[in-house]
């Protein structure tokens, strides 16, 4: 089985460096990126496209699907990490946002089950990544394109690599040492019962 991850196209929140929201839509450039993504995967014999229900991923997936002639299956399992509602839409360098992020980093390291508010903590999103891996493994298709988000894609990959040994501290190191650009492709392959990372953050040359 080949599982291709694609991060959604560019949004205004990406440009302004603010915490994204469920309804964020693609910029004009983001739609161009989605069409370029479609051209790249057209030769990969994709059997199925699955996508997060967020607007930016739905729009990216719809553009790709329209070009390569595939339907899109939505699943909430592919959604982005849910951040505290208090910071949605705010700039990443806002002092309040920075303070909350720092507190979450401290608490998730010492107590992975801790919540600031209505967000997903580390244990929550790690569990969702495990459920997604189980879900996609049961679909049966050989070549799947999953359109999702930076944080969640990296969580899934980290779970595939580290398994039960994955801690918040290990994940933070993995997250900050890897890049995942808009509409980049990441390929994971499953052979027998094991997943391996083949390509990370592949972009057109």
- The reported pLDDT for the residue numbered 200 is 97
Question: What are the DSSP calls for 131-146, one per residue?
Answer: HHHHHHHTS--SEEEE
- Mean pLDDT over each residue of the chain, to the nearest integer: 95
Contact 129, 157 (CB under 8 A): no
Whole-number percent of the chain with pLDDT over 70: 100
- The reported pLDDT for the residue numbered 17 is 95
Supply the DSSP symbol for 177: T
- The reported pLDDT for the residue numbered 89 is 93
Residue 24 tokens, joined? 């964020």
Residue with tokens 């999702």: 148
Q: Is the pLDDT of residue 193 over 90?
A: no
Whole-number percent of the chain with pLDDT over 90: 92
- CATH code linked to domain 2-202: 3.40.50.1240
Mean pLDDT of 100-106: 93
- The reported pLDDT for the residue numbered 30 is 98
- The reported pLDDT for the residue numbered 178 is 97
- pTM for the model stands at 0.96
Q: Is the pLDDT of residue 204 over 90?
A: no
Tens-place pLDDT, residues 53-82: 999 999 999 999 999 999 999 999 999 999
Mean pLDDT of 167-181: 96
Tens-place pLDDT, residues 117-166: 999 999 999 999 999 999 999 998 899 999 999 999 999 999 999 999 99
CA distance 110 to 57: 33
Q: Is the pLDDT of residue 24 over 90?
A: yes
CA distance 26 to 7: 12
Instruction: State whether the Cα torsion 22-26-31-37 is positive or negative.
Output: negative
Q: Is the pLDDT of residue 205 over 80?
A: no
Q: Is the pLDDT of residue 167 over 80?
A: yes
Domain ranges of the chain: 2-202
Task: Give the DSSP H/E element, type plus range, for residue 82.
Answer: none
pLDDT band for 112, please (50, 70, 90 cuts). confident
């Amino acid at each position: 089985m080949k599982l291709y991850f694609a991060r959604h196209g560019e949004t205004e929140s990406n440009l302004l460096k603010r915490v994204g929201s469920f309804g964020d839509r693609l910029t004009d450039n983001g739609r161009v990126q989605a069409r370029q993504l479609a051209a790249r995967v057209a030769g990969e014999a994709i059997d199925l496209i699955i996508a997060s229900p967020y607007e930016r991923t739905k729009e990216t997936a719809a553009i790709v699907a329209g070009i390569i002639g595939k339907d899109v299956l939505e699943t909430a399992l592919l959604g982005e990490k849910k951040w505290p509602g208090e910071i949605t839409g705010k700039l990443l360098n806002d002092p309040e946002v920075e303070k909350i992020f720092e507190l979450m980093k401290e608490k998730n390291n010492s107590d992975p089950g801790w919540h600031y508010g209505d967000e997903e903590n580390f244990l929550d999103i790690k569990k969702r990544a495990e459920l997604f891996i189980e879900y996609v493994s049961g679909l049966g298709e050989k070549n799947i394109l999953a359109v999702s988000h930076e944080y969640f894609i990296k969580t899934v990959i980290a779970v595939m690599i580290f398994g039960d040994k994955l801690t918040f501290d290990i994940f933070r190191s993995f997250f900050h040492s890897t890049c995942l650009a808009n509409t980049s492709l990441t390929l994971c392959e499953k052979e027998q019962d094991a997943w391996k990372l083949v390509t990370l953050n592949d972009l057109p040359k």
